[in-house]
Amino acid sequence: MAVLAKDQEPLVRCDDAARTYGRGSGAVVAVHGATCTVPPGARIAVVGPSGSGKSTLLHLMAGLDRPTAGRVSHPGLTTTGDGLARHIGMVFQGPSLLPPLTAVENVALPLRIDGVPEAEATARARAALDSLHLDSLAEKLPDELSAGQAQRVAVARVLARRPRLVLADEPTGQLDRETGRHVLAVLLAAAAELGAGVVISTHDPRVADELDTRWHMADGRLVRPGEKTEAEPEAEPVGDQRKSLGGPR
Ligand SMILES: Nc1ncnc2c1ncn2[C@@H]1O[C@H](COP(=O)(O)OP(=O)(O)OP(=O)(O)O)[C@@H](O)[C@H]1O
């Protein structure tokens, strides 16, 4: 096997990783042994119906949850000894901002937790909000934001930490089409600028069409391009089937 330079190693590697909730007769296998890698700079959509295991797979990849069998590792991220979480940004489905903090305080908080001095954290948070055209909302509380604005602040919070891997769980699922398109466009543009790998779960084919590769989840089974199962006869890279959403690339 060829030896990869550290910066070419997968950001995430799942080796037969499975997650079962509960035990005995009530056990639910949310993810059956998933095997996959996310290379640096990859842009991957994980598509599948509700309950197919997309969120569970992303949480495993983020290290927020542990597989009950198999293994999840991050060979391309575990280099500097400053903690895996430092390099992974997760955008959650639905509201995730802390209500008592303003937008800029929400974005700065993870930086402060990382040990960034307050003035620098605030400056980086403001820059991240600016890049998403949210500067005028910096002092607003989450309650004063629309769902789309709040989701863009959540994206800014992830991007301000300059992650090398962005995992987004249905980031546009609760937004109207136009707002969703904008959130996706800024997320992808910022990730490209950072050179980050991106994995987005979605049940919206229009979102998947904006990414380079499509993985399918069906009943907890992951099917990647080139593989076939009974549940999913075909899973191809999006490639030239791409339909434009009209947002910047
Ligand atoms: N904490 C939990 N305890 C028990 N079962 C769970 C838990 N979380 C998820 N599940 C089950 O695991 C399966 C996969 O759920 P998951 O949320 O990963 O699917 P999903 O594809 O992300 O769905 P959605 O698109 O609706 O978010 C479902 O059957 C779900 O009911």
What is the ipTM metric for this complex?
0.96
Asked if the structure places residue 158 within a domain, the reply is yes
Round to whole Å and give the CA distance between 151 and 7: 30
Cα radius of gyration (the chain):
18
Average pLDDT on 168-175 reads 88
Q: Residue 30: count other Cβ atoms within 10 Å of its Cβ.
A: 24
- For 2-47, the pLDDT digits (tens) are 555 566 889 999 999 999 999 888 899 999 999 999 999 999 999 9
Of 11, 55, 19, 1, the C-alpha closest to 36 is 11
How far apart are the CA of 214 and the centre of ligand 1, in A?
Answer: 20
Asked if the structure places residue 187 within a domain, the reply is yes
Q: Which is the closest atom of ligand 1 to the Cα of 31?
A: 14
Asked if the structure places residue 182 within a domain, the reply is yes
Asked if the structure places residue 60 within a domain, the reply is yes
- For 54-103, the pLDDT digits (tens) are 999 999 999 999 999 999 999 988 765 567 778 999 998 877 899 999 99
pLDDT at 2: 54
Asked if the structure places residue 73 within a domain, the reply is yes
Amino acid identity of residue 225, one-letter, is P
pLDDT at 6: 63
Amino acid identity of residue 25, one-letter, is S
- Evaluate: CB of 52 within 6 angstroms of ligand 1: yes
pLDDT at 114: 87
Q: Using pLDDT thresholds of 50, 70 and 90, give the confidence band for residue 203.
A: confident
CATH number of the domain residue 200 falls in? 3.40.50.300
Round to whole Å and give the CA distance between 51 and 49: 6
Average pLDDT on 116-124 reads 96
pLDDT at 91: 92
Tell me which residue has its CA closest to atom 25 in ligand 1: 50
Tell me which residue has its CA closest to atom 7 in ligand 1: 21
pLDDT at 15: 95
How far apart are the CA of 210 and the centre of ligand 1, in A?
Answer: 25
Domain that holds residue 165: 36-98+147-225
CA terminus-to-terminus distance, the chain: 35
- Evaluate: CB of 50 within 6 angstroms of ligand 1: yes
Asked if the structure places residue 122 within a domain, the reply is no
Asked if the structure places residue 233 within a domain, the reply is no
- For 210-249, the pLDDT digits (tens) are 999 999 999 999 997 666 555 444 444 444 333 333 333 3
Instruction: State which of 19, 31, 56 you would mutate to test the pocket of ligand 1, scoring each by most atoms of that ligand within 8 A of its C-beta.
Output: 56
- Evaluate: CB of 171 within 6 angstroms of ligand 1: no
Number of domains in the chain: 1
- Angle, vertex CA 216, rays to CA 93 and CA 41, nearest 5: 70
pLDDT at 239: 43
